[in-house]
Chains A and B, each alone.
Chain A
Amino acid sequence: MNEVLTAPLVVEFPFTRSLGPVQSAFLTGLREGTVLGARGTDGRILVPPTEYDPVTAEEIRDLVEVASTGTVTTWSWNATPRRGQPLQHPFAWVLVRLDGADTALLHALDAPGGPESVSTGMRVRIRWAEHRGGAITDIACFEPAGDEEGPAEPAPHTGTFADPVTGIVAEARLDYTYTPGRAQTRYLNALAEHRTLGERCPRCRKVYVPPRGACPTCGVATDEQVEVGPAGTVTTFCVVNIKAKNLDIDVPYVYGHIALDGAGLALHGRIAGIPYDQVRMGLRVEPVWTEGGRYPDHYRPTGEPDADYETYKELL
């Protein structure tokens, strides 16, 4: 068994999210150095606030301002911070109940004294980020505080600010190691040698190209390799008139389904070496490889007579 192919894969997905009245007020407040909570139907002050009561699901809009000092309700020690986390040196994750609030907010605690200096019940205060734009990260982190008490009673707040934040862009990036699996590794390795390798279903005998390791009809593994092609038949096609980004191909061009000889289904590829308006069903084509290419650049006519419809009608 040859080494299975792997490649680094980075997935980035920035979501643009709208905020609604409560989150807009909360995040705009953070920008202004003000922490807002919402009064739940049972009178509890929720920080961070929610739009709907977590118990009754009633809409809640009654906002209050709470203190920027609070008490740690639980904590854990993060000795090896990861990308994106609030601090890049060891810190404590903390849930903090801010003075005047009844629920706790998650954030980082900068604790230069190490884990020995952190305890449940310790007093902390918000360290504001230098540059704030209306996000939870406007709180840079918490830091240890003395016995200073904030106002115990939350003060009513309209939630109104000049130039409110109405949306956030939530950046996200995840890093993976991609592997196509055994069947596709065999296929890709063969392709690099200018051979097309399908796999045959042991039950229905259909040859899958490209192979994915299983027959979707029978639900069994395919493990017999079968070389197909190189020539094949155009089963259907379309004329592309829209230029794709980053693709150096003049329009119009033809993209088609091609049933390689011996394959049980068609794969797709670009068809060139013939005027676009002369491509037709049944046209016989063969792959064209570029120097060092790991896959066919396109397919061109072989010059053979067209295939009879009966020979490929099941492959449409």
Chain B
Amino acid sequence: MTGTDTRKAAVVAFAQTDHVRAADGLSEVEMLLPVLREVLDRTGLSTGEIDFTCSGSSDYLAGRPFSFTMALDGVGAWPPISESHVEMDGAWALYEAWVKLLTGEADTALVYAWGKSSLGDLPMVLTRQLDPYHLAPLWPDSVSLAALQARSVLDAGLADEEELAGIAARSRRAAEDNPHVRQRGPAARTAGGYLAAPLRAHDVPPVTDGAAAVVLAAGDAVDRLTDHPVWISGMDHRIEAHGLGVRDLTDSPSTRLAAERAGLFDPGAPPPDIAELHAPFTSQEVILRNALRLGEETVVNPSGGPLAANPVMAAGLVRIGEAAARLARGEGRRAVAHATSGPCLQHNLVAVLDTDGAAEGEPR
């Protein structure tokens, strides 16, 4: 889906925590609050002035039922606000908010997401999202499943282990400029044996606690809230079959279709300057680059990406926020942001962002 001629929505503010191995001693709302304050302060809005609030999280991460209701304390939910929650990455909460803005039912939306993976055993927690008859009883951990996909990529000749190591090194080098992430620097985990062959430690994302928040606006509210709006020109999400053995694990047709529907490949559209890809495993970046037809002209994961920090349930929203923040700073004029969910890139969301030529800098 793309924005309509009469109504477009923009990212007007983004904030994130410093993503850490374990946000020791903080409850979820305590971890979230500084981010909510920061993102609202950037727009000058108070919680009561937001038209629609939507969040993404999973109770399974911290083993705390209905944890999102506790997190609502952080947004000032009384008197009652218009609010929704998805048990998904915050990128899907942003999608819901975006649709709400396009319908005209809201002019401003607060989107936030958080994950405290440190409280449980994340690779085992993620087995609970699998098909309950054929997969979940075997407890196949998320790293092993990603390794099956990586082997398919290697067998198909789409990359070799050296290229995967190169993706890891590039991501962590880029992360040196990002104060929020936890794996940075060329020396960080680039050596070592197999964690789940063919994946080595450097191919695998760090377990991370963190949170992020975005404010969206549409209509007159955009100009009121920012001088540097980043427009969402299109966004779409698509899902594939749940059976791993039914899918071609070397490709991501759902990403390709979502990108097409979001307008990434529109005739005459320039290639994106920036791509923020939610590829927690190095081999998944290879698949996504192909599906999104990214070439040399696109800088991939200048933030360091999920290989530098992977706060589950927030990492996809962070991709949209990072891409938007870079465009707002004039680092490019068009960006693609991607989020994924489920095992081996099962479900994918693609957002196309642009500054509508309003950013500083040389014309293309």
Give chain A's interface residues, CB within 8 Å of chain B: 1, 3-4, 9, 11, 15, 17, 19, 23, 27, 46-48, 50, 54, 73-79, 82-86, 93, 95, 97, 103-108, 115, 120, 135-137, 168, 170, 172, 174-185, 212-221
Contact = CB atoms under 8 A, between A and B. Distances in A.
B135 A82 contact: no
A94 to B, nearest CB: 8
B246 A103 contact: yes
A182 B25 contact: yes
B177 interface: no
Interface stretch (B120-128, B184-192, B286-294): B120-128
A11 B152 CA distance: 35
Contacts of A182: 25-27, 30
Contacts of B73: 212-216, 219
Contacts of B151: 74-76, 120
Most chain A CB within 10 A, of B47, B60, B76, B79, is at B76
A170 B137 CA distance: 7
18 contacts: A1-B25, A23-B133, A48-B134, A54-B246, A77-B147, A83-B124, A85-B139, A104-B244, A104-B245, A105-B245, A136-B138, A174-B121, A178-B64, A182-B25, A182-B26, A182-B30, A216-B76, A220-B33
B196 interface: yes
A4 B76 contact: no
B24 interface: yes
B262 to A, nearest CB: 23
B63 A11 contact: yes
Contacts of B77: 216, 219
Given A136-B137, A170-B136, A178-B119, A76 B147 contact: yes
Contacts of A77: 147, 194, 196-197
B180 to A, nearest CB: 20
B345 interface: no
B72 interface: yes
Nearest to A53: B241
Nearest to B110: A219
B139 A136 contact: no
What DSSP secondary structure best describes chain B's contact surface? helix
Nearest to A204: B76
Interface of B: 24-30, 33-34, 36-37, 47, 60, 62-64, 70, 72-79, 119-121, 123-125, 128, 132-141, 144-145, 147-152, 155, 194, 196-199, 241, 243-246, 249
Contacts of B149: 74
Contact of B29 (A48, A175, A181, A218): A181
Contacts of B137: 84, 135-137, 170
A11 B147 CA distance: 28
A177 B119 contact: yes
A93 B63 contact: no
B63 A82 contact: no
Given A76-B151, A84-B139, A17 B133 contact: yes
A168 B133 contact: yes
A15 B63 CA distance: 16
A217 B152 contact: no
Contacts of A50: 243, 246
Given A27-B133, A177-B119, A212-B27, 15 more contacts: A19-B133, A76-B197, A84-B138, A93-B148, A136-B134, A174-B120, A174-B121, A174-B124, A175-B121, A177-B120, A181-B26, A182-B27, A213-B29, A217-B79, A220-B76
B135 A74 contact: no
Contacts of B75: 219
Contacts of A11: 63
Contacts of B132: 15, 17, 170
A32 to B, nearest CB: 17
Given A76-B144, A93-B144, A221-B30, A178 B63 contact: yes
Contact of B27 (A23, A104, A179): A179
Given A73-B245, A115-B197, A218-B47, A82 B27 contact: no
Given A214-B30, A221-B33, A106 B119 contact: no
B148 A46 contact: no
A78 B26 CA distance: 33
Given A212-B73, A216-B78, A74 B26 contact: no
B150 A76 contact: yes
A288 to B, nearest CB: 29
Contact of A183 (B30, B141, B241): B30
Contacts of A185: 25
Nearest to A177: B119
A51 to B, nearest CB: 11
Given A95-B245, A174-B125, A74 B30 contact: no
Considering the complex of A and B, which 10 residue pairs feature the smallest CB-CB distances, nearest first?
A: A181-B27, A219-B76, A104-B245, A76-B147, A4-B25, A84-B139, A176-B63, A77-B197, A54-B241, A219-B47
Nearest to B64: A178
Contact of B243 (A46, A74, A108): A46
Most chain A CB within 10 A, of B121, B141, B144, B241, is at B144
B32 to A, nearest CB: 9
Contacts of B133: 17, 19, 23, 27, 48, 136, 168
B138 A172 contact: no
Nearest to B125: A174
Contacts of B26: 179, 181-182
A123 to B, nearest CB: 16
Contact of B25 (A95, A181, A219): A181
A54 B243 contact: yes
Contact of A83 (B60, B74, B139): B139
Contacts of A17: 132-133
Nearest to B198: A76
Given A183-B27, A212-B29, A174 B76 contact: no
Given A46-B243, A76-B148, A181-B30, A212 B70 contact: yes
